[in-house]
Amino acid sequence: GQNIDQPTEMTATEGAIVQINCTYQTSGFNGLFWYQQHAGEAPTFLSYNVLDGLEEKGRFSSFLSRSKGYSYLLLKELQMKDSASYLCAFGNSGAGSYQLTFGKGTKLSVIP
Amino acid sequence: KAGVTQTPRYLIKTRGQQVTLSCSPISGHRSVSWYQQTPGQGLQFLFEYFSETQRNKGNFPGRFSGRQFSNSRSEMNVSTLELGDSALYLCASTLGGSNTEAFFGQGTRLTVV
């Protein structure tokens, strides 16, 4: 079957570093996505990993281990505006289609 | 370029009614996917259309249906609404490849009373 897990909530201090973990199980895998969603807004793309390793994009980095079914999103130099839900999702293209399977999201609260 | 546009933004319907939601993808994007987002279940895949064909469908009852037009605009329909259908319905457009990012619309907030 398909499954994806991430912590429900996390709290971190402004200026600190936080790591949000995601584990998944799937038979068809075409990459791991991270999205950010502020309350009442649409999810916006943060990163995509298809090969093992670390992808860095400014203050945000994402890591993937396909053999372990594991990914994490690393946020550095936290700012108050980073308070949002972070959604982990894997892509699969069964039957040639495009489908994302999402975790339930991690609500990150950044405190002063 | 313009983003993904969903209309209406908010809807209130009565149990038993039916509803149609609309999604206009980014120009040039041929794949449109629909997701239901609820606090308890998160984002769940409804279906995906590409070039007017439904390529994949999630685990939702037949009351949920959709279609895509030749200009890539898509609609989804929910018939015989139930209280549990209250959710944020999000549409996402992509170029169509499995390794491309999805761009989401602002969603339609449906409340069933």
pLDDT band at B1 (very low <50, low <70, confident <90, very high): low
Q: Which residue among B31, B35, B58 sits closest to A98, beta carbon to beta carbon?
A: B31
Closest CA to A34 of A3, A78, A64, A67: A64
Backbone phi, psi, residue B87, to 5°: -175, 175
Q: With an 8 Å Cβ cutoff, is A70 touching chain B?
A: no
CB atoms within 10 A of CB A89: 25
B102/A30 CB distance under 8 A = no
pLDDT at A101 over 70: yes
Which residues in chain B are contacts of A34 at CB distance < 8 A? none
Q: With an 8 Å Cβ cutoff, is B7 touching chain A?
A: no
- The residues, any chain, with a CB within 8 Å of residue B18's CB and separated by 6 or more, are B77, B78, B79, B80, B81
Q: Give the pLDDT confidence score for residue A75 in this predicted structure.
A: 98
Which residues in chain A are contacts of B55 at CB distance < 8 A? 95-98
User: Rounded to whole angstroms, how far apart are CA atoms A31 and A7?
Assistant: 20
pLDDT digits (tens, 9 = 90+) for A19-59: 999 999 987 777 899 999 999 899 999 999 989 999 999 99
- The residues, any chain, with a CB within 8 Å of residue A46's CB and separated by 6 or more, are A33, A34, A35, A36, A57, A60, A62, A73, A86
pLDDT band at A95 (very low <50, low <70, confident <90, very high): low
Q: Which residue among A45, A50, A102 sits closest to B101, beta carbon to beta carbon?
A: A45
Looking at residue A76, its amino acid is: K
Residues 51-110 of B with CB under 8 A from A: 55-56, 58, 90, 92, 94, 96-107
